[in-house]
A and B are shown apart, each in its own frame.
Chain A
Amino acid sequence: MRHLICFGNELHGDDGFGPAVFRRLAVMDIPKEWRLFDAGNRGLDTLALFEACEEVILVDAAAPAGHPGRLSQPLPEVIKEESALPGHGAGVGYLLKALNSLNGQPPLLRIITAEMSSLTPFQPELSAPVAEAIDETVALLCDWMAEGKDG
């Protein structure tokens, strides 16, 4: 199996990018060997989703850095452990470090992020640049999932 895992909290503005992508994909026909997950704001609890699968795609929002809506494909090793931490101190950065520290063969991992416009806690709704990035993200993910199917 292959897992596509979307992270984020849609109650916090652009942090809802991952869940928005999940909702789009959830109503589409995707290759049957792929499973979709909306992981919300969980961190360490999602370790199980990295087991018993050969490939994982992770979708999340990235911190604001002046280019709202810009898509990036960071390598797992450049994702830093959180300093202000959610989920009992275990966000996605912590999760990836934990995954890397465990014995055994981790799945292939690809990450796609959309850069947030700003931090807007408790203000649902994506900013325009991030909302516009969803189409391109979904198209890219469909390509990636098709690649997985072929090879």
Chain B
Amino acid sequence: MTRLEVNLELNRVEGDLTIGVTLEDGVVVDARTVGSLYRGFEQILMGRSPRDAMVITPRVCGICGTAHLYSAVLALEQAWNLPVPPNATRIRNLCLMAEGIQNDLRQSFLFFTPDFCHTRYRDHPLYDKLMADFEPFKGVMHRETLLMTRRVLEIVAHFGGQWPHSSYMLPGGVVTPPDARKILACRSVLDEIGAWYEKRIIGASVDEWLALDSAKDLFTWLEKPGPADSALGLMSQFTRSLDMHRLGAGTPHMISFGAWCDPVSWGPPYNTHLSPSGFYDGDTRQLSSLDQGLINEHVRHSWFRPYTGGLHPFEGETVPDYQPGTDRYTWAKAPRYGDKVVQTGPLAELFISGDTLIRDLHDSEGSSAWLRQFARVRRTAVELVRAREMLDELAANLGEPHYISSSPDAEVDGQGCGLVMAARGALGHWVKIKDGVVEKYQIVTPTAWNASPRDSNGELGHWERSLIGLRVQDPDDPIEVGHLIRSHDPCLVCTVHFLETGKRVRFAP
């Protein structure tokens, strides 16, 4: 028996991430995801004015800053029990959808499919097609995705002034009202993206695609001219030829915080969504309502000041305590739902919200790398439809307020949480306010859920678990590991930037 330890640094992943895998006879028997950069946003916020969170937290991520802004403002509105006008929620949702479309397209065609152009696959019957569509900077999908994802972000710019790192939401609403010019401009963007999505990505109409409700119908549909020649068709044919619909299941449990607040009914107790929240127990195969009180974070294998077991985010802490040479190995905590290791993302979002096609595929084949990526492409269609609805509703209610001012007396001490579905999954901000300033602030990101390390009970995180049993053909070039990890849409942090001259530089602690 040969036993090898391989450390794989992934490029095209936002930030510093190392996957350490142990191979026995070519099969992964152990895995560790190492987040190698301490962020410290929670510590930065302590002692500051609560409203500072709306400027600081959108800087957590250069891809999902809208989601962080949305979470931050929801947490303060809950703490201060503030009403939110429907048009404000529509604008927030519209921008979150635009950001989601951007992420889902970039993840799919700038980060996931370029790996298919690896020379290992040059004898694959689909290789020429893969190169024509997915080759970086040359393939049709790669080049057009660069353009389209830039275009869709114009929607955020119309209402937020800039993207990324915008701060246009505030407790009680948003800073700018809708008007006919903005709505017309956003409709134009959606029309362009929608037509391109139908032509290139699915080879059919969005209505036809979203009407598919069973695995059997899907696979018949994927044989038809149009879908068969589309980017989705090609991606599915290739990944399934690699058995990726049987690989990378990870944890069977899923969590969704609910996609998009319901504009009409949003307000205390702040729990109505257009797509419902929930928890899926993969052992009992039962769905249940989300109880954010069950969320807790462990640091047993993380470089943070130790505490016992898991702490709910309202009681949590993020005090750095680098301990090299121990069994602690990451700057990521281990969030758990009760004692369950969960996964989150488009698959969890669509499954829990009741997408019948996704549920049928999950029931028949289970969670997999292919299904996660497939769900990401499908969610883009849902976002396109929902974004159009938000614009239509704004157009029908142009004269309605976009902001409800409140008395400074309303900004009382207390606590609140803001839960959204970001592009990568469940994102939560928890704030406690004391003496008018932030006493505690905790952020649990989607990648924290997915890329968590082992917890106090020794349970592996979702990514780690998804790698166990994977056969790796070439330990010097473990591309199979890359496929699986990228199917999770990894995001950790940004790192030092400079023009390179070819030297490889990493900034690990």
Contact = CB atoms under 8 A, between A and B. Distances in A.
B180 interface: no
Nearest to B151: A48
A148 interface: no
B140 to A, nearest CB: 11
Contacts, number: 119
A82 B110 CA distance: 15
Given A48-B150, A79-B499, A85-B13, 9 more contacts: A7-B497, A15-B496, A65-B501, A80-B501, A88-B491, A91-B497, A97-B136, A102-B146, A119-B496
25 contacts: A12-B497, A41-B494, A45-B163, A61-B498, A61-B499, A62-B498, A63-B505, A79-B499, A79-B500, A83-B11, A84-B507, A85-B12, A88-B14, A88-B63, A88-B106, A88-B491, A91-B499, A91-B500, A92-B497, A93-B499, A100-B137, A101-B143, A101-B146, A116-B498, A121-B496
Contacts of B224: none
A87 interface: yes
A85 B136 CA distance: 15
A93 B137 CA distance: 12
Contacts of B491: 88
A140 B421 CA distance: 48
B11 A45 contact: no
A91 B110 CA distance: 13
Interface string A44-88: 110110000000000011110100000000100001101111111
Interface string B202-239: 00000000000000000000000000000000000000
A87 B62 contact: yes
Nearest to A88: B14
Contact of A101 (B138, B500, B504, B506): B138
Contacts of B14: 85-89
A80 B502 contact: yes
B164 A89 contact: no
A70 B105 CA distance: 40
B147 interface: yes
A84 B505 contact: yes
B111 interface: yes
B505 A119 contact: yes
* Closest 6 A/B residue pairs (Cβ): A89-B12, A101-B137, A41-B497, A88-B14, A86-B497, A61-B498
Name the interface size band of chain B. Answer: 35 or more
B439 to A, nearest CB: 26
Given A101-B143, A119-B507, A85 B496 contact: no
Interface string B96-116: 000000000010001100000
Given A42-B62, A101-B137, A92 B499 contact: yes
B405 interface: no
A15 B503 contact: no
Interface of A: 7-9, 12, 15, 41-45, 47-48, 60-63, 65, 74, 79-80, 82-93, 97-98, 100-103, 113, 116, 119, 121
Contacts of B498: 8, 15, 60-63, 116, 119
Nearest to B506: A84
Contacts of A121: 495-496, 507
Contacts of A48: 150
A9 B63 CA distance: 17
A9 B163 contact: no
Nearest to B11: A85
Given A63-B498, A82-B500, A84-B504, A102 B11 contact: no
Contacts of A83: 11, 500, 504
A115 to B, nearest CB: 9
A32 B448 CA distance: 47
Nearest to B154: A48
B163 to A, nearest CB: 7
Nearest to A51: B150
Contacts of B143: 101-103
Contacts of A97: 136-137
Contacts of A100: 137
B497 A44 contact: no
B504 A89 contact: no
Contact of A84 (B63, B495, B501): B495
A92 B504 CA distance: 15
Contacts of B505: 63, 84, 119
Contacts of A7: 497
B84 to A, nearest CB: 29
A39 to B, nearest CB: 10
Given A63-B503, A97-B137, A47 B495 contact: no
A87 B494 contact: yes
Nearest to A60: B499
A93 B62 contact: no
Nearest to B502: A80
Contacts of B12: 85, 88-89
Nearest to B137: A101
Interface in B460-509: 491, 494-507
Interface string B112-150: 000000000000000000000000111000110011001
A106 to B, nearest CB: 13
Interface in B12-27: 12-16
Contacts of B506: 84
